[in-house]
Structure formats: C-alpha cells, structure tokens
Structure 1
Amino acid sequence: MSSSTSVFDASVDFDDLMELIRPRSVMIVGASTTPGTLGHTTVVNVLEHSDFDGQVYLVNPKGGELRGQPLYPTVGDVPVQGIDVALLLVPAEVAVDTLQSCAQKGVRYAIVFTGGFGELGEAGRSVEADMLTLAHRTGMRLYGPNCAGLTMLDPRLGLTFSTEFCNDGRSGQLSRIGLVTQGGGLGRSLMQGNERGVRFSRWFSTGNELDLDSADFIHWLAKDPGTDLICTVMEGIKDGARFVAAAKAAQKAGKPLVALKIGRSDFGKKAAQSHTASLAGEDLVNDAVFAQYGVIRVDDLDELLDVASLISRVGVRSLKRICVYSSSGGAGVLSADKVGEAGLSMATLGPGTVAEMARYAPSYAALTNPVDLTTKALVDPTLARNCLTPLFKDPEVDVVLYPITSNYAASTEGIVRNMLEVARGGAKAFVPVWMSSRRGPAHDMLIREGFAPIYSLRNTMLALQRISRYAQHVTETVDPRVDAQELPAVPPAATPALALPSNEAQAKALLAHHGVRSPREKQAANGDEAVMHARAIGFPVALKLVADGVLHKSEIGGVQLHLQSDDQVRVAFDLIMNNARQHRISPQAIRGVLVSEMVTGGVEILVGIHRDEIFGPVLSVGAGGVWVEVDADVARCHLPASRAVLERALLQTRIARRLDSHRGLPARDREALLDAMQRLAQLFLELGVHVQSLEVNPLVVLDEGQGVVALDAVIE
C-alpha cells in the first residue's frame, strides 16, 4: 500500500489516494442503458462530462453496448487486471460478492454508492463488517458505502451518479476550495453555492466511511497544490487521532479548515447514528478539539459558505475594526449594534479621512463611523467613489462594510459598480451585505466580480468574528511543525508503574508520587486513631470516608469539616460510619477515614481528565468545589498538550480571573497550578487505557509562591 505518514504522528498513516483521484482506469459495475437511472447517469458523467482519457469498463449482466463501450456480463469478464477504481451501483445484498470479484480483478479502490448498510441497523453492520474484512485481507480500499462519490472540477472528473455534475463548475471562475461531506444532500447544497459565488473545485462525499473517512480527504486536500481552503460537513468523527492529524496537516500547510459538525443535540446525535451509523461525539469536546487545532467551527450551511467565501477572497487576517458605509441611517445604526454584539469594534476614522470625505459629501451627511451619505449617494455615484477612496486608505480600518438595504435597479447597479472600482484596488476587506429580498443586476454583478455578498448582518458579524479568531490563533500558536513542547504520548497499552488506586487515599498517594501534594493527613480505622491523628495534625481537621469504589463521599454524608476537638472527631467518625452503612456500602470496601488538615483560603479549581470515546484523553479545568455542576465554568483541551495550550484553556474560564491580584487580595500561584495540570496530564497518559478518568476537585490554588493542594482525588 502506497502511503504517506503524517509528520505529526507516526502512528497515523494516510493513503496517497492518487489512483483514486487521478485514475487511469475506471470500471462501472451496474452500468445501465436506461436513461435516468443511476447506472446510466454515472456512465454519462464519466464518458461525457469528465475530462477523462483513461480506460472505462462497463459491467451489466445483460451484456450489449453503451455509448460505444461493450457491456461485460460480470466483473470477471472484464479483460484486464489492476483497475484503479470500480464504481458499484449494485444492491446491498450482492455488495460483498461484487467486491470479492473486484478484489480478484485487482481493483485498487471501490466506491460503493449503494445504501442499506450500517445506517439501517445490525444486519447492515454485519454486511459492512464482511466488506471491511475483505478489504483488509486484499488491500483494496473502500470509499462509502451510502455515498455520492467524488467530484473534481480542475480537471473535471465525476465519479458520481449525480445528474447535477454536468452543471458543476460551469458558471464563473472556480475557487480553490475543497469540500468533504459525509452526506450527499448537504454536500450538493453547498456545491450549488456557485449561484451565490462560492465555487468549490473538489468535493468528496464519504457516506458511512467504512474504510476511507473524512480525515483521509482533508489530509489529501492539505497537500493538494490546487486547494487553498478546506471545508467539511461531518455527522460523526470516526477516528479522533486521524482527524487531529489531518487538521494539523491543514494547519501546517497554511490552509484554514472550516467545519460544520452536525449532531450537536441529543436529537441530532440519534439522527446522525441512524443516517451514517456514526458516533457524533461529545459536542463540548468537539468544540475544544476544533479550537485547539485551529478548526473554524460554523453552525449552519450559510455560515460555512460565508466564511469560505470571505477567506478565499481576503485571506486570513484580523477583521475586527469595521467601518460601516451606507446610504441608510437605520442600516448604519443596526450594523453598529451587530458589531458591538459580536465583540468587534467600530473603527475610529482618522482626521484626514473625515476631511477628505467632507470635500465631496453634502453638509448634512454623517462622516463619522457609521458613514451615511444619505440617498444622495444613490443618484450621484461619483460621490460614493470619492468618499470610499479615503476609507479604503485609512490605517485604522480593517473592513469596509456596505449594507445594501434595497434594490433600486440602475441606481443600485451604478453605486455598486463605483464601489467595486475602489474596492478592487484597496487594501481593506470590502464586505457587501445584501439585505433586500429582491435580487437584481447589482447583486449579480457582485457575484460575477468575485465579491459574493452575505445575506444578513448577523451572519456577516459571525464570519468576521470567526476569521479574526482564526487569525489570532495562527499568530499565537506555536509553529505546528514543532511538537517538542507537547507532552509525549504514551502507547495505549502502557502498564502503570503503581497499582491502580481504588479509593481517595490511594489516589492521593499516586498524585504525590507525581509531584501533586495533598494536605497533611492520616488514615484512621477507628475513632481513637482518628483523634490521635487529629491531635498530631492540629485542629481544625476534616474527616472523610475511605471506601473502595465510592466516588462522591459528600453525597452520602461521608465528609465532616471544621472539627475542633476530640469529641467532635469521635462523633464525626461514628456519623460517617453510620452513613456508610445506611447507604449499603460493603463492609469489605470500607477502609476507615482520612483525617486531614483544613486548608483555608485559596481558589478552588477542578482539574479532571477523561478518556473521550472519539479523541482519547481530554483535560478539563475550571471552577471547583461542590458547585462545579452548577457553575459549569469549565474549559477543555486535548492531550497531549503543551503548557501554552493548557494555559489557554485555563484562561478561557471565569475562575481564572480570581487567580490575579484584585482589590488588595494577593495573586494566586498560577504557575504551580499549571505545573500540577502538566503533571496530572502526564500521569493520566502513563496510566494508559487502564484508567478512564482522573479528577482532582478541589485543587486549592494558594497565594503566589505557596503552591497548590489536592483536597480530593478520584481515579476510575
């Protein structure tokens, strides 16, 4: 198998896909002589609508001829070996036998268009398992099933049954944008974005992703010299490690990756599983992983088209300082509202800019931001040209935003034409927003000239916001080619050096072994021992139940705090034991209590790590203590991660602000917290697959220079 290994992760291999994307021979199994059928359309797409000069072999059990090509009754009758791509339009019940024949024929890639597999339930998954076993045994790669195939428009190659392929890429200049979608319907919707000026040049519809998945094609597009930007619509992420490796490849290549991940809600997750038999994944984890590896996440198809269109036109840059230019005062104010709501800023125009506009504008025009030349700009196109020019030269402006509220036919066309003359030569991003429900020549001119409008102020601000954040990420991120600052990944089968803990005392001992200290504490088996340890530690103390497998002790009355005397300690011990019995904790599981010093002051932080079913180890950090579920102040990052990535996650939380000095309160020991986060991450990675989660809550961050203390720890 020809493959290229990711430079980021030696354990992730990607096929080079060249025989699939630039095939020399194609076999269509299920070719049909009946116009309108999928088998007929597929043949027409390859023979007539593609720039394909390789060999084409058609298979139909009836035999005969189609478009001057012989129809072979079976795959075995095709008179050659070593075919690059086979397109299968056959019923699901004969898919495995057909694939077996393809493998014997030496087919390198098989695209299975047919549905009726894993998306329909257990029987379909069983067939998929047989298909995958066959592929692994023979080395043949599978694309699909339940997919719409692939579309390449430069040069043209349609390995698809879509009747719309003949129209793809026929109007306007193609953008250098690649598209990867699991579903065919949403992908086709995006491909028809050419009507609004967004013209994808490559489209891979991957279906159930039995073998090849979205990551394979994202990785290929990252290397493709004909692609500058990658968009994807994902219903589920099949393999987190492969997706991360592909995202890193795109980042290394300087190609933004824009993702619409659907299946966010419980309803959406169920729909995704029934559609593509994929796991949707925990959405908060998806958010964290996407942000960490520079994936621009959008929420719907319109957003994806808007972001892709704008990036392809203006590139990756900060678009935060906005000048609103309008002939409608109301549109200017509404735009300013939306700018503020999005956390962007209204640019402060320089005195020279205002003075230059004043030379031409009527006395009643508004020349501060937003700029309102009133309706005079509609009847005097040169006014717009003269006033726009200084705006595009102002160094304090990133974006000139033009809300077009109405279509006044020739008047609007004239002003748009004059605006485009200025915008083409300007160094600023020009963003027209077409707010009218009526299209017209001016609207079509914007698309024709490469300035695809956005259709709402809300989506405009989202696009500007997302691109600006991505530009900041690119600036702040350590060179992705250098992974030296990341914690080393430990092989999944690693065996822990210490026995896995079954209770808090053992968990804390393991943490202490890795440099994360606990309070002074001792384990006691009875009330007298508890009193003895309390005296040695010094009052006040806390008592906590130690019982194997009991994770949340406070919920069963297993924690007693602020104990000031021998008698209080004895009473607390008896109360904890009685509560444990009432909650039917096995006597064999009960080990006694921990007698612990009371740590006062500091800021309570939660640091937890769990093994996500898609992405593996994920660290969470945020507000800790008993209110953690209520506060829900948590940020996440994927492991392994550098210290800088851990700190960025911490700074996303509200609780992080309490670590700074404020109104006479001392600053807390942020560096010690980051040290502890790194050590806990490393411990979790070393423990490997034996551990599903590790949580320290609370981890008290003391005053600067005094470190942190783990008050509780749970390892599952």
Structure 2
Amino acid sequence: MSTSLPQPSSELTFDDLLRLTQPRSIMIVGASTTVGTLGHTTVLNLLDHSEFDGDVFLVNPKGGQWQHRPLYQSVGDVPAQAIDVALLLVPADAAYSTLEACAAKGVRYAIVFTGGFAELGEQGQTTEQEMLALARRSGMRLYGPNCAGMTLLSPRLGLTFSTEFRNDGRNNRVSRIGLVTQGGGLGRSLMQGNERGVCFSSWFSTGNELDLDNADFIHWLAQDPDIDIICTVIEGIKDGARFVAAAQAAQRAGKPLIALKVGRSDFGKKAAQSHTASLAGDDVVNDAVFSQYGVIRVDDLDEMLDVASLMSRVSVQSLQRICVYSSSGGAGVLSADKVGEAGLTMACLAQSTIAEMARYAPSYAALTNPVDLTTKALVDPELARKCLSPLFNDPAVDAVLYPVTSNYSASTESTVRNMLDVARNGMKAFVPVWMSSRRGPAHDLLINEGFAPIYSLRNAMQAIKRITWYAEKSNTARDPNGLMPVLPNAGTLVDLPRNEAGAKALLAQNGIRSPKEAQAITAKEAVVQASRIGFPVALKLVADGVLHKSEIGGVQLNLWNEAQVHDAFGQIIKNAHEHKISDKCIRGVLVSEMITDGVEILVGIHRDAVFGPILTIGAGGVWVEIEADVARCHLPASRSQIEQVFDTTRVAKRLSSYRGMPARDRGALLDATQRLALLFLSLGDRAQSLEVNPLVVLNNGQGVVALDAVFE
C-alpha cells in the first residue's frame, strides 16, 4: 500500500496581485510640493515618469494644490472608495492611524515606505503586529514597511520615492527578467545594471515583509506571461513553506529562479537581523533547499547580473562543452584553465570544423581548442566571420567563449561586429568576455546588440556553470512528493522515546532493525545477556535524556568475556554518576552484539526554524563532525530525491564494489532513510529531531542495522 504526501503548497494561497500591479486608482499620503522631499519625488514618479492614466489622489495635512490637483488634508477627505493602492510617506508613529483611515476607505494595498519598525526592536515589533492585525481584520494587504516600493517598466509605473526611477529602462531594451529584493539599496544597484546591458522589467522591494513577502512576488512573477527569469535578493525567509511553494511555481512554469541569499556568515546574520528583522536561517539548510527546488544560488550582485543576462540570451541549456576563440594565445590558455577549474569541458572540435577554419586562417594559427588566430585577427576582421561560423556549426560545441583582451578601437569594433553577425544567426551560445579596463565602441556595441559582456573569465565560467547546473537539474527533476509507503504505527505514539532502547523499539516497529541486544539493570543480568547474544558484545548506558553516551564514558566496546562485561557495567554506571546523572534517569545498559563490518552512515532529521523537517545523510560514526561528509534535503522527499542527495557525498562511493570489496546494500539504506523520514513526519511537532548514528550498511542483500538512535 502507498500514498502520496501533501505538497507544502497545497495548504497555501497567494494573493492575486493584479490590482497592485495594474491599479485603477492610487492615493499618495504624504504628498509634498517641496522639491527634493520624498513626498515630492514620489508624486513626480507617478505623474511625470509613469504611464498611468487612472485616478490619483494626493493627501497632505496642510492642504493646498499640486499644480492643478487638490491636496486633501486627510485620507477621509478623499472623495473615493475602494482605492486600489495607497502609498504611505508618514512617520512611523503615524503609520497605524493612517492605515486605519486607509482601511475605512477600502484600500486594497498599502505600500508603507516608512522605516523604524521591527528592525529597531521590541516597540517596533509591537507596532508591526498591530498593523498586521488591522490588515487581517479589514482585508487590506500591506507591502513593506521599510521598503523602496515597486517599479514596473512595461508599461511604466513607479510607486517609489527613488529619484533614479526616471532613468530606469531609459535604454529601451526589452527585458523579460523580474526582480524581488527585500532591501532597496541592493535592488537599486541591480536595476542600474542596465548601464552594462542587464535590464529588469519589474522590481519589487519588499522591506520588512510584514504581510506580503518575497514568496508572494516570486509566485506572481511565475504566473506573469511577460517574465521568463526571476531574480531575488533575500535577507531572511520568514515562511519557508511559502518560499518553497513559490519556488515550485517557478519550476512548474519553467522559469529559472536566481537567488542571492545574504546573511550567510555570523556577521551577515547579525546585520540582516538589524536591517529587516529577518531570520537569516542556517545557511547549509538554505543551500540544500535551494538546490532541491532548482533555485540557482549566486554569491554576489555581479554574478546575478551575469547569470540572468546570459540565461536570458541562451535560454535553458547545458553549456558543458566550451570552445575558446581568441586572438591571444595567453588568453586561450587562461580560458582553458578556468574551464577546467569550473568543472566544464573543452570541446573536441570535428576535423571538418578545423579544415574549414584552415582555409582562411594563417598557417601558424592554432585551430584546435582553444582557437588562436593570433594578431592576424586584429588586422583582418573578416577572419572572425569566416572562422567563427564553423565553430557555431560544430555539434560538439555548446558555447563559444570570446575573450576580448584589449581594446584596439576601430579594429576591435570591426572584429566584434563581424562576430556578432555570425553569433546572431548561430545556434550556439556566444559568451563575450571583456577583459580590458578600457571600454570603447566595441564594448558599447556588445551591449547595444543585446550581448552584454561578462568582465572576467572566472565570472564567465561561474555563469556558464550555474546555467548548466540548472539545465541538468531541470532534465532530471522529479516529483518531490512521489508515492511513498505508509507507516501505520507511528501516528499512534503518545510519548517520544526518552532513551536509546525506546528509540530502537520504535524504529523496529517501523521496519528498521537493530543488533541482537537486550536491556540489563544489573551487572549479573548483563553477563547473562552477553552469554546469550554471544561474544564480543558492547555495553551502552541507557539513561533518559542522555544523547551522547560516549562523551561521558557510557559506551564500552569489544567485550570478549563475562569478566569484562561485569567490570564494564560497573564502570559505565560509575561514569554516569560522576557526570551527575541521577539514578531515576538511569535504566541500566544495553548489551549488544558487535557489528564489525559495514559502512557507517548518519541519518538525521531535525525541524528547522524556517523550512521545517530537514534530512541529513552522509558519513556516520564517531568522526562525523570531523569528516563533515553529509548532504541535506527538505522533507517530504521522494526516494529518488533522497538518492540524488546521498550521491553528492563521498561516502556514497564506498557502497559500491571496489578492488575486491563487496557492494553494500544501497537499496536497504534508501528504504530505511525513507522510512525514518516518514516516521518523523508522522510525529508532527512532537519530535524536534531524530538521529540514527551509525546506521550500518551491510553487504548487498543483508540490509542495514541501527546501532544507535535518539529522539528529541
């Protein structure tokens, strides 16, 4: 019998943001006639720099006029109801009362630009919760606070106080990339990527995310037919389930989601907390979740611009096989080094490709990969057209990398122009890398023609690597909620096991066996049980709440006779007393057969504060912290997902037959891991963690054995 686990997204709803992104009426509370103020710039952005023909209402307590428009002294004076969007430029201490007035007007969305809330401490948090309660009662949705607002460029709509909105999209290049950032500064930096040919058609800056969060806007962009790629800069994820659901929506829509998660270090986490009061999260968990749901994680703004720009041009495809085309031998060798360092491949060119290039290239040119036409290419720009075409037709080439080492003005421009003539009509990705610090007409030509250059070979390789990873991930994507076996016993559990013996008993009920073992409460009983099990044996302390027995001398291994067992029992109890473990917690010892063959694996599950249940699997035993050879995934996960995650560890290779060593029971490990995951999920919030370490994988067909287990 089998069943499917519910998707996280099935219990979640996302708001239809149509009236936010295509409003019919907008009210600006805090509009100002004073030049240079935020209230003045916001009105200018809407009236002069946007393409908005709906109703506009301006509110200022002093009243008066904005050109021919009245300034209403209060929200209540505005002669309209059911206003789609209100922009609030008011002090933090006036935010709640202003929102009350907006709710009375039937405002659907309130964008609160003001800062000074949860990011400043307890009082701000209290105010935020009052604002959120008001929104819940009224049905009004809150955007912000402490945010830079919303920028849309097709058609233009600037609900923002930024003086730079007037320059957004000024190059008129068509873009199908959406951007969601919590902070305004990093988002503005990315928006100014249009100067290097990387353009965003929409930008949502979400601030403290009191109500609407980044997941809402990622989900919205996943449904937007005018968006192909989504970028997001995240300081903290408050609701992991909603983020996962939004990422899954992007996956289903075939839209790459590129994420820069800041707050990775302890210093960064502290800064994120003070900035937007967000939970930065455990970074290894963030990494695992992003990978599992196909989120392309980048490390800085430059990388985000490079990946987004290149992917918008080449779409989703593997770029594993690289051909380097250059007029510099040194640049070709350096490029080859970077290809290898990135784990990519130098393409092996077909003989017909080499022969075609040889018809035009000088006899001293290098025509294998990397292709080096030498300085002849600088004085004969037509060489680019003649020698590049065969490379774009070679089936063994995925991408042509062109490092521009120097700017030779008109010569470089002519060469680039001829190369672009070929690249526009070619079926291969063309990746220009501008290595010179001097720009010029050739550089601008690349940008104007939609081939935004990358500015270092290292960055180019990283962008190609990210796109290739995503393409391969898309090709092997599986349903994360595939059919999984039911564990009927777990759900009836009332209390969690408080020690190893109880934990193993529960595991046994769910199909995961332990060694031959028995509990003993006296030394004499331990000797009897050891003789019954057969020597050698191990003795382990059984005590409620004691998680790491070996650290307090609670484990004795390789006991070969009755005397050793008798003495070991006494030593274990003595060690327990020395570590202040009370007699009422001590339940004796476990006498266990020694399992001396097999591969030791750690299988652990814990409840992450952001994303919920997280599975950890990898090398186990006493050296687990030192080896640090583990991988993680978010639960629920299918058996195939668990297998893919496990295969990223080094220890996975030890399960295969090698140099006379037998193959280990990989299938039994995956079955046991899946059963442990289902057991943990069935326990709900009663269990915060489960660890089986080690879970010993025996020879093929012999299964696995749990040597230790603990619940918390």
Partner of 2:11, secondary structure, is coil
Quickly say closer, same or farther: Cα 1:396–1:161, change in 2 above 3 A.
same
Aligned to 1:503: 499
Whether the 8 Å CA contact 1:378–1:412 is kept in 2: the answer is yes
Partner of 1:198, secondary structure, is coil
Aligned to 1:347: 347
Quickly say closer, same or farther: Cα 1:715–1:7, change in 2 above 3 A.
closer
Whether the 8 Å CA contact 1:241–1:615 is kept in 2: the answer is yes
Partner of 1:264, secondary structure, is coil
Q: Deviations over 1:154-192 (max 9, x none)?
A: 111111111111111110312100000000000000000
Aligned to 2:541: 545
Q: Which amino acid aligns with 2:314?
A: V
Partner of 1:41, secondary structure, is helix
In structure 2, the gaps of 5 or more residues are: 1-5
Q: Deviations over 1:377-416 (max 9, x none)?
A: 0010111211111011000000100000000000000000
Q: Is 1:451 aligned to 2:447, yes or no?
A: no
Aligned to 1:530: 526
Q: Deviations over 1:325-380 (max 9, x none)?
A: 00011000000000000000100010001011111111111111100000010010
Aligned to 1:586: 582
Rounded to whole Å, the distance in 1 between the matches of 2:484 and 2:28 is: 47
Whether the 8 Å CA contact 1:625–1:697 is kept in 2: the answer is yes
Q: Deviations over 1:525-571 (max 9, x none)?
A: 00010011101111110000000000000000000001011100000
Q: Is 1:662 aligned to 2:634, yes or no?
A: no
Partner of 2:142, secondary structure, is strand
Q: Is 1:514 aligned to 2:514, yes or no?
A: no
Kindly state the Cα deviation for residue 133 of structure 1 after the two structures are TM-superposed.
1.1
Q: Which amino acid aligns with 2:135?
A: A
Rounded to whole Å, the distance in 2 between the matches of 1:504 and 1:478 is: 35
RMSD: 1.3
Aligned to 2:419: 419
Aligned to 1:109: 109
Give runs of aligned pairs for residues 103-252 of structure 1, distance below 5 A: 103-252=103-252
Aligned to 1:295: 295
Rounded to whole Å, the distance in 2 between the matches of 1:453 and 1:496 is: 61
Quickly say closer, same or farther: Cα 1:384–1:280, change in 2 above 3 A.
same
Aligned to 1:40: 40
Whether the 8 Å CA contact 1:317–1:467 is kept in 2: the answer is yes
Q: Is 1:690 aligned to 2:686, yes or no?
A: yes
Partner of 1:180, secondary structure, is strand
Rounded to whole Å, the distance in 1 between the matches of 2:566 and 2:89 is: 77
Whether the 8 Å CA contact 1:496–1:686 is kept in 2: the answer is no
Partner of 2:203, secondary structure, is strand
Kindly state the Cα deviation for residue 8 of structure 1 after the two structures are TM-superposed.
6.4
Q: Which amino acid aligns with 1:217?
A: F
Rounded to whole Å, the distance in 1 between the matches of 2:29 and 2:257 is: 35
Partner of 1:10, secondary structure, is helix
Rounded to whole Å, the distance in 1 between the matches of 2:510 and 2:491 is: 16
Whether the 8 Å CA contact 1:303–1:463 is kept in 2: the answer is yes
Quickly say closer, same or farther: Cα 1:553–1:528, change in 2 above 3 A.
same
Quickly say closer, same or farther: Cα 1:221–1:669, change in 2 above 3 A.
same
Q: Which amino acid aligns with 1:542?
A: A
Q: Is 1:645 aligned to 2:651, yes or no?
A: no
Kindly state the Cα deviation for residue 499 of structure 1 after the two structures are TM-superposed.
2.6
Q: Which of 565, 583, 588 does residue 561 from structure 2 map onto? A: 565
Whether the 8 Å CA contact 1:110–1:143 is kept in 2: the answer is yes
Q: Which of 697, 701, 711 does residue 697 from structure 2 map onto? A: 701
Rounded to whole Å, the distance in 1 between the matches of 2:491 and 2:600 is: 32
Q: Which amino acid aligns with 1:108?
A: R
Rounded to whole Å, the distance in 2 between the matches of 1:566 and 1:8 is: 54
Q: Deviations over 1:298-329 (max 9, x none)?
A: 00000000000011000000001000000011
Rounded to whole Å, the distance in 2 between the matches of 1:305 and 1:29 is: 35
Q: Which amino acid aligns with 1:164?
A: E
Whether the 8 Å CA contact 1:486–1:642 is kept in 2: the answer is yes
Partner of 2:208, secondary structure, is coil
Q: Is 1:74 aligned to 2:99, yes or no?
A: no
Rounded to whole Å, the distance in 2 between the matches of 1:525 and 1:326 is: 77
Kindly state the Cα deviation for residue 67 of structure 1 after the two structures are TM-superposed.
2.9
Identify which range, 124-133 or 609-618, moves more after superposition.
124-133
Rounded to whole Å, the distance in 1 between the matches of 2:511 and 2:138 is: 50
Whether the 8 Å CA contact 1:393–1:427 is kept in 2: the answer is yes
Kindly state the Cα deviation for residue 445 of structure 1 after the two structures are TM-superposed.
0.2
Partner of 1:584, secondary structure, is coil
Whether the 8 Å CA contact 1:496–1:688 is kept in 2: the answer is no
Q: Deviations over 1:51-86 (max 9, x none)?
A: 111111110000011032110001111111111110
Q: Which amino acid aligns with 1:445?
A: L
Partner of 1:402, secondary structure, is strand
Kindly state the Cα deviation for residue 487 of structure 1 after the two structures are TM-superposed.
7.8
Q: Which amino acid aligns with 2:154?
A: D
Kindly state the Cα deviation for residue 9 of structure 1 after the two structures are TM-superposed.
2.2
TM-score for the superposition, normalised by structure 2: 0.98
Aligned to 2:622: 626
Rounded to whole Å, the distance in 2 between the matches of 1:511 and 1:218 is: 40
Q: Which amino acid aligns with 1:82?
A: A
Kindly state the Cα deviation for residue 7 of structure 1 after the two structures are TM-superposed.
8.3
Rounded to whole Å, the distance in 2 between the matches of 1:126 and 1:205 is: 23
Partner of 1:461, secondary structure, is helix
Quickly say closer, same or farther: Cα 1:664–1:495, change in 2 above 3 A.
closer
Aligned to 1:3: none
Aligned to 1:18: 18
Rounded to whole Å, the distance in 1 between the matches of 2:486 and 2:302 is: 40
Aligned to 1:599: 595
Kindly state the Cα deviation for residue 49 of structure 1 after the two structures are TM-superposed.
1.0
Partner of 2:41, secondary structure, is helix
Aligned to 2:261: 261
Partner of 1:13, secondary structure, is coil
Rounded to whole Å, the distance in 2 between the matches of 1:141 and 1:532 is: 69
Rounded to whole Å, the distance in 2 between the matches of 1:604 and 1:68 is: 78
Whether the 8 Å CA contact 1:488–1:640 is kept in 2: the answer is no
Whether the 8 Å CA contact 1:487–1:641 is kept in 2: the answer is no
Number of residue equivalences: 706
Rounded to whole Å, the distance in 2 between the matches of 1:624 and 1:226 is: 48
Rounded to whole Å, the distance in 2 between the matches of 1:615 and 1:562 is: 41
Quickly say closer, same or farther: Cα 1:525–1:668, change in 2 above 3 A.
same
Whether the 8 Å CA contact 1:521–1:597 is kept in 2: the answer is yes
Kindly state the Cα deviation for residue 484 of structure 1 after the two structures are TM-superposed.
3.8
Kindly state the Cα deviation for residue 478 of structure 1 after the two structures are TM-superposed.
2.1
Whether the 8 Å CA contact 1:699–1:710 is kept in 2: the answer is yes
Whether the 8 Å CA contact 1:486–1:640 is kept in 2: the answer is no
Aligned to 1:338: 338
Q: Is 1:365 aligned to 2:365, yes or no?
A: yes
Aligned to 2:3: none
Quickly say closer, same or farther: Cα 1:618–1:448, change in 2 above 3 A.
same
Whether the 8 Å CA contact 2:482–2:637 is kept in 1: the answer is no
Rounded to whole Å, the distance in 2 between the matches of 1:579 and 1:496 is: 36
